[in-house]
Amino acid sequence: MTVYLIRHGKTQGNVEHRYIGRTDQPLCPQGRAELQSKIGPEADRVLASPLLRCRETAAILYPGRDVEIVDDLRETDFGDFENRTYGELKDDPRYRAWLDSAGTAAPPGGESKAHQQARTVRAFRDVVAVCRGDERVALVVHGGTIMCLLEALEPSRRFYDWQAPNGGGYACAWDGARLTVTATI
């Protein structure tokens, strides 16, 4: 099975370098314009996070297609750090502690990386379990979702090594147990 992991287009929060997880932001004009020149890779099924930025990206890359929503493919919940920037948080000792943990601890009121990874891997396994082996499946999701999936299911690199640009991502082969990245998209 071929799986495309596609990060949503740019939002105003991305432009401003904000921690945007559960905040339901639309694509910004720049993000829409950047996606207009792209065509989604050929896919038999298109699935997306429920957040607006992913649904809008899927609609641009796959016009006129039905998009299946998978709640647990959403981005991490940044809790008290949600919608804030490094500059706004840098003097907060709770933020410093979170950074010192390399993002593995849960932000206050938020979700740990381990929780997000377990949630997204479970959702991914549920999705591929109902797909045929010859299907091409596009998942329009978040940067954190892609990093969690690849760190867990293609462990040749670490979490932050799997960062994808807005509107970009990875083509992968799924063998039932492991993802193998075959190309960047």
pTM of the model: 0.95
Architecture per CATH, domain 2-184, reads as: 3-Layer(aba) Sandwich (3.40)
**Which pLDDT tens digit goes with each residue over 86-129?**
999 999 999 999 999 988 899 999 999 999 999 999 999 999 99
Count of CA atoms in the C-beta half-sphere (13 A) of 38:
23
Domain boundaries, the chain: 2-184
From edge to edge, which strands make up the β-sheet containing 179-184? 68-69, 45-48, 136-141, 2-7, 169-174, 179-184
Please give the mean pLDDT across all residues of the chain.
Answer: 96
Q: Residues of 129-140 as b/e, b for ≥16 C-beta within 10 angstroms?
A: eebeeeebbbbb
